């Protein structure tokens, strides 16, 4: 009997290392060429693409906590805003490079995430979520009141990353950040720490009984998620060129939550997959029905309710149930990869 291990070619090993399937790689390549193809090469559509890539990145980082350890951080965009203000203030006051400022924003958000996590994550479920939300409201209040530092509602002017008039460079940068965040989060799920996250998310008491320290692992997860959000906040600051406390509003977190949950809580890739068509549809509604402000939030809520009733696992559950399972070997390879590491 032949017990030799099947030979896997280098391309499949690389895909597995990057946590991609052939279908995922093809989708990514499509996103790369999208702004070069009419009508998506029009500047207003490029701005929509940047928004979609940004929300997709936030959804992945948000889902890392909400999907794996079942903690919904309602203050997530406030922490993202802290990263943005950190980068902007450092650039304005001491002339720090925006690139280093983005990293500083991530570090500041991580430190705050550690403090919030040590306080809130000793609690469970909705209590931890509410306390995180209160911290987010406090951050937004500080950004509004500290006019001497943030210029409050008037807005803080920030130098942009690129001098180019086109937003295409920002799109490619944000797309690269989205891929990097996805790979980082997927790599973590493959480690012992990732196994502990999933165990805590499924049954915290059982995880505790097996020797896992829930507080340590929950805080670790929370800190990484906040750090990624802080880096994205730095990008936000130097992309839009102006910061106001509105970027920290709970409604921004609700938008990210909707994308993550409709995409598939805990899948990481689901939110990124649906972010582009979802954000395009919402932007179309927002631009067409300007006399109905807030309609997009109502649509988020309705879609979220429908998904939670019929497909609690979101698009990822639908995909795994009806599309991913196939008896055709070629399609199985295309959808799942040779090693299945992207699942």
Domain presence at residue 316: no
Domain presence at residue 6: no
Domain presence at residue 259: no
- Tokens 């079942």 — which residue? 70
Looking at residue 5, what is its pLDDT?
Answer: 53
Domain presence at residue 29: no
Q: Which two tokens stand for residue 55?
A: 């929300």
Looking at residue 333, what is its pLDDT?
Answer: 86
Looking at residue 341, what is its pLDDT?
Answer: 52
Looking at residue 4, what is its pLDDT?
Answer: 52
C-alpha to C-alpha distances, 225 to 61, 159, 185, 196, nearest whole angstrom: 5, 26, 9, 16
**Number of domains comprising the chain:** 1
DSSP state of 98: H
Render pLDDT for 167-182 as a digit per residue (tens, 0 to 9): 999 999 999 999 999 9
Domain presence at residue 284: no
Q: Which residues of the chain have pLDDT under 50?
A: 1
Looking at residue 342, what is its pLDDT?
Answer: 57
Domain presence at residue 179: yes
Looking at residue 1, what is its pLDDT?
Answer: 45
Quote the domain boundaries for residue 148: 35-249
Looking at residue 59, what is its pLDDT?
Answer: 97
Looking at residue 122, what is its pLDDT?
Answer: 81
Helix, strand, or coil (residue 6): coil
Domain presence at residue 24: no
302 by Cβ neighbours in 10 Å (0-12 / 13-18 / 19+) ranks as: exposed
Sign of CA dihedral 180, 234, 77, 170: negative
Domain presence at residue 118: yes
């Amino acid at each position: 009997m032949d017990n030799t291990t099947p030979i896997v070619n280098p391309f499949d090993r690389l895909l597995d290392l990057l946590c991609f399937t052939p279908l995922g790689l093809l989708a990514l390549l499509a996103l790369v060429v999208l702004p070069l193809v009419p009508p998506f090469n029009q500047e207003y559509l490029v701005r929509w693409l940047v928004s979609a890539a940004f929300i997709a990145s936030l959804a992945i980082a948000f889902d890392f906590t909400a999907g794996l350890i079942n903690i919904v951080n309602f203050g997530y965009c406030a922490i993202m805003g802290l990263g943005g203000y950190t980068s902007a203030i450092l650039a304005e006051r001491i002339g720090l490079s925006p690139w280093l400022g983005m990293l500083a924003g991530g570090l500041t958000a991580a430190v705050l995430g550690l403090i919030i996590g040590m306080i809130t994550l000793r609690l469970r479920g909705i209590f931890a979520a509410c306390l995180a939300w209160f911290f987010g409201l406090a951050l937004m209040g500080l950004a509004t009141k500290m006019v001497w530092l943030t210029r409050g509602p008037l807005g803080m002017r920030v130098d942009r990353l690129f001098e180019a008039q086109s937003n295409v460079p920002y799109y490619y940068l944000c797309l690269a950040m989205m891929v990097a965040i996805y790979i980082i989060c997927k790599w973590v799920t493959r480690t012992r720490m990732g196994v502990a996250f999933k165990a805590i998310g499924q049954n915290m008491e059982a995880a505790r009984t097996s020797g896992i320290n829930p507080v340590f692992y929950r805080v670790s997860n929370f800190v990484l998620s906040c750090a990624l959000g802080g880096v994205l906040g730095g990008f936000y600051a130097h992309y839009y060129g102006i910061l106001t406390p509105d970027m920290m509003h709970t409604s921004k977190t609700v938008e990210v939550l909707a994308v993550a949950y409709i995409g598939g809580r805990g899948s990481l890739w689901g939110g990124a997959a649906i972010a582009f068509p979802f954000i395009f549809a919402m932007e179309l509604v927002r631009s067409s029905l300007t006399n109905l402000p807030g309609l997009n939030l109502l649509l988020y809520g309705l879609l979220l309710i429908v998904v939670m009733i019929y497909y609690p696992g979101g698009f990822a559950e639908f995909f795994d149930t009806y599309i991913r399972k196939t008896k055709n070997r070629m399609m199985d390879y295309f959808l799942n990869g040779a090693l299945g590491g992207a699942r």
